[in-house]
Amino acid sequence: MHINLSTGITVEAELTSPSDAGQNHSDGGNNLAIFLHPWSWLGGHMQDPVASLLMDVFEAHRSQYYLLRYNSRGVGKSSGWPSLTGLSEGEDLRALVQWAFGTIRNIKSLVIVGYSHGSLIASLHSALPSTSTRVSHILLSYPLGPRGWLTAFRSNVYDTALKDLLSSPEAHVLVVFGDQDNFTSISKYERWTKELQTLTGTDTQRLEIVRVDGASHFWRGRDERVLTAAVVERWLQRATVIITVSFEYVGILSVAALPEIRQHTTAIQVTDPKGTLLLYYMSLSVSHCIRKLHKSMVTNMKLIFDCFIFKQSMLVS
Protein backbone atom coordinates (compact mmCIF):
# COMPACT_ATOMS: atom_id res chain seq x y z
CA MET A 1 0.00 0.00 0.00
CA HIS A 2 1.01 3.63 -0.41
CA ILE A 3 0.32 6.30 2.21
CA ASN A 4 0.25 9.99 1.38
CA LEU A 5 1.71 11.94 4.29
CA SER A 6 1.09 15.56 5.22
CA THR A 7 4.81 16.18 4.68
CA GLY A 8 4.26 15.69 0.95
CA ILE A 9 5.96 12.29 0.95
CA THR A 10 4.25 9.08 -0.18
CA VAL A 11 5.57 6.04 1.67
CA GLU A 12 5.39 2.41 0.69
CA ALA A 13 3.97 0.50 3.65
CA GLU A 14 2.43 -2.72 4.89
CA LEU A 15 -0.38 -2.67 7.45
CA THR A 16 -1.39 -5.92 9.13
CA SER A 17 -4.68 -5.95 11.02
CA PRO A 18 -5.15 -7.96 14.22
CA SER A 19 -6.93 -11.27 13.90
CA ASP A 20 -9.89 -9.90 15.86
CA ALA A 21 -10.16 -6.67 13.84
CA GLY A 22 -13.72 -5.49 13.57
CA GLN A 23 -14.68 -6.64 17.04
CA ASN A 24 -15.87 -4.10 19.57
CA HIS A 25 -12.82 -2.65 21.31
CA SER A 26 -14.60 0.29 22.88
CA ASP A 27 -13.65 -1.03 26.31
CA GLY A 28 -9.93 -0.70 25.78
CA GLY A 29 -9.19 0.53 22.27
CA ASN A 30 -6.73 -0.71 19.69
CA ASN A 31 -2.97 -1.22 19.85
CA LEU A 32 -0.59 -0.20 17.07
CA ALA A 33 3.10 -1.04 16.58
CA ILE A 34 5.18 0.84 13.97
CA PHE A 35 8.54 -0.54 12.80
CA LEU A 36 11.46 1.59 11.57
CA HIS A 37 14.32 0.17 9.51
CA PRO A 38 18.08 0.97 9.45
CA TRP A 39 19.76 3.84 7.60
CA SER A 40 18.54 4.18 4.04
CA TRP A 41 21.91 5.49 2.80
CA LEU A 42 23.37 2.05 3.58
CA GLY A 43 20.51 0.09 2.07
CA GLY A 44 18.09 -0.06 5.00
CA HIS A 45 14.52 -1.01 4.08
CA MET A 46 11.33 -2.21 5.74
CA GLN A 47 12.07 -5.89 5.08
CA ASP A 48 15.41 -5.73 6.88
CA PRO A 49 15.87 -9.13 8.59
CA VAL A 50 16.41 -7.70 12.08
CA ALA A 51 13.47 -5.30 11.82
CA SER A 52 11.43 -8.24 10.53
CA LEU A 53 12.53 -10.28 13.54
CA LEU A 54 11.07 -7.64 15.84
CA MET A 55 7.87 -7.65 13.85
CA ASP A 56 7.70 -11.44 14.16
CA VAL A 57 7.67 -11.09 17.95
CA PHE A 58 4.60 -8.88 17.70
CA GLU A 59 3.03 -11.33 15.25
CA ALA A 60 2.70 -13.70 18.20
CA HIS A 61 0.35 -11.08 19.68
CA ARG A 62 -1.55 -10.77 16.41
CA SER A 63 -4.91 -10.68 18.13
CA GLN A 64 -3.91 -7.49 19.95
CA TYR A 65 -1.90 -5.38 17.49
CA TYR A 66 -2.11 -3.56 14.23
CA LEU A 67 1.39 -3.84 12.72
CA LEU A 68 2.71 -1.13 10.40
CA ARG A 69 6.07 -1.10 8.67
CA TYR A 70 7.17 1.25 5.92
CA ASN A 71 10.02 2.34 3.70
CA SER A 72 11.28 5.76 4.67
CA ARG A 73 11.55 8.53 2.10
CA GLY A 74 13.63 7.59 -0.93
CA VAL A 75 13.56 3.85 -0.17
CA GLY A 76 11.81 1.31 -2.38
CA LYS A 77 8.69 2.88 -3.83
CA SER A 78 8.57 5.71 -1.29
CA SER A 79 8.93 9.15 -2.81
CA GLY A 80 11.50 11.82 -2.04
CA TRP A 81 15.14 11.60 -1.03
CA PRO A 82 16.65 10.51 2.29
CA SER A 83 17.86 13.38 4.43
CA LEU A 84 21.33 13.56 5.95
CA THR A 85 20.13 14.62 9.41
CA GLY A 86 17.18 12.25 9.86
CA LEU A 87 15.02 15.16 10.95
CA SER A 88 12.82 14.97 7.84
CA GLU A 89 12.31 11.27 8.56
CA GLY A 90 11.23 12.27 12.05
CA GLU A 91 8.60 14.58 10.55
CA ASP A 92 7.46 11.75 8.29
CA LEU A 93 7.06 9.48 11.32
CA ARG A 94 4.89 12.05 13.08
CA ALA A 95 2.81 12.40 9.90
CA LEU A 96 2.51 8.62 9.63
CA VAL A 97 1.22 8.42 13.19
CA GLN A 98 -1.34 11.11 12.36
CA TRP A 99 -2.42 9.07 9.34
CA ALA A 100 -2.75 5.96 11.50
CA PHE A 101 -4.92 7.78 14.02
CA GLY A 102 -7.19 8.86 11.20
CA THR A 103 -7.38 5.33 9.79
CA ILE A 104 -7.45 3.04 12.83
CA ARG A 105 -10.08 4.06 15.30
CA ASN A 106 -9.57 4.43 19.03
CA ILE A 107 -5.82 3.77 19.31
CA LYS A 108 -5.05 3.51 23.02
CA SER A 109 -1.50 2.18 22.79
CA LEU A 110 1.26 3.03 20.32
CA VAL A 111 4.57 1.15 20.25
CA ILE A 112 7.36 2.63 18.12
CA VAL A 113 10.02 0.05 17.33
CA GLY A 114 13.32 1.17 15.81
CA TYR A 115 16.44 -0.76 14.86
CA SER A 116 19.82 0.96 14.37
CA HIS A 117 19.19 4.28 12.58
CA GLY A 118 15.49 3.55 12.97
CA SER A 119 15.91 3.84 16.74
CA LEU A 120 17.24 7.38 16.28
CA ILE A 121 14.13 8.35 14.32
CA ALA A 122 11.87 6.55 16.81
CA SER A 123 13.33 8.59 19.68
CA LEU A 124 12.17 11.81 17.99
CA HIS A 125 8.52 10.87 18.49
CA SER A 126 7.22 11.57 21.96
CA ALA A 127 4.27 13.92 21.53
CA LEU A 128 0.97 12.21 20.83
CA PRO A 129 -2.04 13.43 18.89
CA SER A 130 -4.27 12.15 21.69
CA THR A 131 -3.63 12.52 25.41
CA SER A 132 -5.48 9.25 26.02
CA THR A 133 -2.96 7.30 23.94
CA ARG A 134 0.05 5.75 25.63
CA VAL A 135 3.33 5.60 23.78
CA SER A 136 6.15 3.08 24.16
CA HIS A 137 9.51 2.75 22.46
CA ILE A 138 11.78 -0.20 21.67
CA LEU A 139 15.28 0.95 20.66
CA LEU A 140 17.46 -1.88 19.35
CA SER A 141 21.18 -1.27 18.65
CA TYR A 142 20.89 2.49 19.13
CA PRO A 143 23.87 3.77 17.05
CA LEU A 144 25.48 5.82 19.77
CA GLY A 145 29.03 5.65 18.39
CA PRO A 146 28.33 6.86 14.84
CA ARG A 147 25.36 9.05 15.82
CA GLY A 148 27.22 12.20 14.83
CA TRP A 149 27.90 11.29 11.21
CA LEU A 150 24.56 9.48 10.85
CA THR A 151 22.81 12.76 11.64
CA ALA A 152 25.17 15.28 10.00
CA PHE A 153 26.45 16.18 13.46
CA ARG A 154 23.03 16.78 14.99
CA SER A 155 23.77 14.48 17.94
CA ASN A 156 22.59 17.13 20.38
CA VAL A 157 19.12 17.10 18.80
CA TYR A 158 18.78 13.35 19.32
CA ASP A 159 20.35 13.43 22.75
CA THR A 160 17.87 16.08 23.87
CA ALA A 161 14.91 14.26 22.29
CA LEU A 162 15.70 11.01 24.10
CA LYS A 163 16.25 12.76 27.43
CA ASP A 164 13.01 14.68 27.04
CA LEU A 165 11.24 11.40 26.31
CA LEU A 166 12.67 9.68 29.38
CA SER A 167 11.95 12.68 31.60
CA SER A 168 8.24 12.13 31.09
CA PRO A 169 6.56 10.06 33.82
CA GLU A 170 4.61 8.37 31.00
CA ALA A 171 7.76 7.08 29.27
CA HIS A 172 8.09 3.36 28.61
CA VAL A 173 11.34 2.61 26.80
CA LEU A 174 13.23 -0.62 26.18
CA VAL A 175 16.88 -0.24 25.12
CA VAL A 176 18.63 -3.38 23.83
CA PHE A 177 22.24 -3.60 22.63
CA GLY A 178 24.98 -6.18 22.19
CA ASP A 179 28.30 -5.96 24.01
CA GLN A 180 30.06 -6.73 20.70
CA ASP A 181 28.37 -3.93 18.76
CA ASN A 182 30.38 -3.09 15.65
CA PHE A 183 30.01 0.68 16.00
CA THR A 184 29.67 1.44 19.71
CA SER A 185 32.01 0.16 22.43
CA ILE A 186 30.51 -1.46 25.49
CA SER A 187 32.16 1.16 27.71
CA LYS A 188 30.44 3.92 25.74
CA TYR A 189 27.09 2.14 25.98
CA GLU A 190 27.51 1.67 29.73
CA ARG A 191 28.35 5.33 30.33
CA TRP A 192 25.38 6.35 28.21
CA THR A 193 22.88 4.04 29.89
CA LYS A 194 24.00 5.19 33.34
CA GLU A 195 23.33 8.74 32.24
CA LEU A 196 19.87 7.76 31.02
CA GLN A 197 19.13 6.02 34.31
CA THR A 198 19.75 9.26 36.20
CA LEU A 199 16.56 10.49 34.53
CA THR A 200 14.41 7.53 35.52
CA GLY A 201 16.06 6.12 38.64
CA THR A 202 15.06 2.54 39.33
CA ASP A 203 11.72 2.85 37.54
CA THR A 204 11.92 0.00 35.01
CA GLN A 205 8.46 0.88 33.75
CA ARG A 206 9.97 4.05 32.27
CA LEU A 207 13.31 2.59 31.16
CA GLU A 208 14.56 -0.96 30.85
CA ILE A 209 18.08 -1.59 29.58
CA VAL A 210 19.15 -5.02 28.33
CA ARG A 211 22.71 -5.90 27.33
CA VAL A 212 23.01 -9.08 25.27
CA ASP A 213 26.45 -10.65 25.72
CA GLY A 214 28.15 -11.77 22.52
CA ALA A 215 25.73 -9.94 20.23
CA SER A 216 26.85 -7.63 17.44
CA HIS A 217 25.09 -4.65 15.89
CA PHE A 218 23.70 -6.85 13.12
CA TRP A 219 22.37 -9.75 15.24
CA ARG A 220 23.58 -12.23 12.63
CA GLY A 221 23.90 -15.39 14.69
CA ARG A 222 20.92 -17.56 15.45
CA ASP A 223 21.62 -17.38 19.18
CA GLU A 224 21.77 -13.58 19.04
CA ARG A 225 18.41 -13.40 17.30
CA VAL A 226 16.78 -15.87 19.64
CA LEU A 227 17.99 -13.83 22.62
CA THR A 228 16.74 -10.59 21.09
CA ALA A 229 13.32 -12.06 20.38
CA ALA A 230 13.17 -13.42 23.93
CA VAL A 231 14.04 -10.02 25.40
CA VAL A 232 11.33 -8.22 23.45
CA GLU A 233 8.79 -10.96 24.14
CA ARG A 234 9.51 -10.79 27.87
CA TRP A 235 9.13 -7.02 27.77
CA LEU A 236 5.78 -7.34 26.03
CA GLN A 237 4.61 -9.84 28.62
CA ARG A 238 5.69 -7.54 31.44
CA ALA A 239 4.15 -4.46 29.88
CA THR A 240 0.93 -4.90 31.80
CA VAL A 241 -1.27 -2.50 33.63
CA ILE A 242 -2.08 -2.62 37.32
CA ILE A 243 -5.24 -0.68 38.10
CA THR A 244 -5.92 -0.12 41.78
CA VAL A 245 -9.61 0.15 42.60
CA SER A 246 -10.73 1.21 46.07
CA PHE A 247 -14.17 0.05 47.11
CA GLU A 248 -15.99 -1.74 49.90
CA TYR A 249 -18.00 -4.29 48.01
CA VAL A 250 -16.82 -6.11 44.90
CA GLY A 251 -20.38 -6.70 43.77
CA ILE A 252 -20.70 -3.07 42.64
CA LEU A 253 -18.09 -3.61 39.93
CA SER A 254 -18.98 -4.11 36.32
CA VAL A 255 -17.09 -3.90 33.06
CA ALA A 256 -19.00 -0.70 32.30
CA ALA A 257 -17.69 0.84 35.53
CA LEU A 258 -14.09 0.29 34.40
CA PRO A 259 -13.90 1.51 30.79
CA GLU A 260 -10.16 0.85 30.48
CA ILE A 261 -10.55 -2.88 31.14
CA ARG A 262 -9.95 -5.08 28.11
CA GLN A 263 -10.93 -8.70 27.75
CA HIS A 264 -7.33 -9.87 28.28
CA THR A 265 -7.36 -10.07 32.06
CA THR A 266 -4.98 -12.66 33.44
CA ALA A 267 -5.45 -12.37 37.16
CA ILE A 268 -7.04 -10.60 40.08
CA GLN A 269 -5.25 -10.04 43.36
CA VAL A 270 -7.28 -9.15 46.41
CA THR A 271 -5.53 -7.68 49.43
CA ASP A 272 -6.64 -6.38 52.78
CA PRO A 273 -5.76 -2.81 53.90
CA LYS A 274 -2.37 -4.03 55.18
CA GLY A 275 -1.48 -5.50 51.80
CA THR A 276 -1.95 -9.12 52.84
CA LEU A 277 -2.89 -11.28 49.86
CA LEU A 278 -6.38 -12.71 50.35
CA LEU A 279 -7.03 -14.19 46.94
CA TYR A 280 -5.24 -14.69 43.63
CA TYR A 281 -7.54 -15.79 40.87
CA MET A 282 -6.61 -16.51 37.23
CA SER A 283 -9.11 -15.94 34.45
CA LEU A 284 -9.34 -14.89 30.81
CA SER A 285 -12.56 -12.97 31.34
CA VAL A 286 -13.13 -9.75 33.24
CA SER A 287 -16.75 -10.61 33.96
CA HIS A 288 -15.75 -14.10 35.13
CA CYS A 289 -13.24 -12.61 37.56
CA ILE A 290 -15.80 -10.18 38.91
CA ARG A 291 -18.43 -12.90 39.33
CA LYS A 292 -15.85 -15.01 41.17
CA LEU A 293 -15.32 -12.17 43.63
CA HIS A 294 -18.98 -11.24 43.92
CA LYS A 295 -19.99 -10.34 47.49
CA SER A 296 -16.37 -10.53 48.71
CA MET A 297 -15.65 -7.92 51.37
CA VAL A 298 -12.34 -6.24 50.50
CA THR A 299 -11.03 -2.69 50.36
CA ASN A 300 -8.44 -2.98 47.61
CA MET A 301 -8.25 -4.98 44.42
CA LYS A 302 -5.60 -5.08 41.73
CA LEU A 303 -6.54 -6.09 38.22
CA ILE A 304 -3.63 -7.22 36.06
CA PHE A 305 -4.17 -7.24 32.32
CA ASP A 306 -2.26 -8.86 29.50
CA CYS A 307 -2.52 -5.84 27.23
CA PHE A 308 -0.18 -3.03 26.36
CA ILE A 309 -1.23 -0.10 28.53
CA PHE A 310 0.52 1.69 31.32
CA LYS A 311 0.06 1.72 35.07
CA GLN A 312 -2.69 4.03 36.22
CA SER A 313 -5.03 4.54 39.16
CA MET A 314 -8.79 4.49 39.14
CA LEU A 315 -11.33 5.09 41.92
CA VAL A 316 -14.75 3.50 41.89
CA SER A 317 -17.10 5.21 44.29
How many Å apart are CA 29 and CA 105, to the nearest integer? 8
Summarised one tens digit per residue, pLDDT across range 142-189 is 999 999 999 999 999 999 999 999 988 888 899 999 999 999 999 999
Confidence of residue 253 (pLDDT cuts 50, 70, 90): very low
Say yes or no to pLDDT of 306 above 50.
no
Is residue 74 within 8 A of residue 40, CB to CB? The reply is: yes
Domain boundary among the residues 196, 211, 238 is at: 238
Residues 143 and 282 grouped into a single domain: no
Q: What pLDDT is stored for residue 23 in this prediction? A: 55
Summarised one tens digit per residue, pLDDT across range 11-61 is 999 999 987 665 544 446 789 999 999 999 988 999 999 999 899 888 877
Residues 221 and 247 grouped into a single domain: no
What are the DSSP calls for 43-91, one per residue? T--TT-HHHHHHHHHHHTTTTTEEEEEEPPTTSTT--S---SSSHHHHH
Domain boundary among the residues 192, 214, 238 is at: 238
Answer whether 0.85 is exceeded by the pTM: no
Q: Looking at residue 175, which CATH number applies to its domain?
A: 3.40.50.1820
Range ranked top by mean pLDDT from 63-67, 94-98, 308-312: 94-98
Helices within 124-280 (DSSP H only): 147-150, 155-167, 186-200, 222-238
Residues 36 and 144 grouped into a single domain: yes
Domain that holds residue 72: 2-238
Q: What pLDDT is stored for residue 20 in this prediction? A: 61
Domain count, the chain: 2
Domain boundary among the residues 238, 267, 301 is at: 238
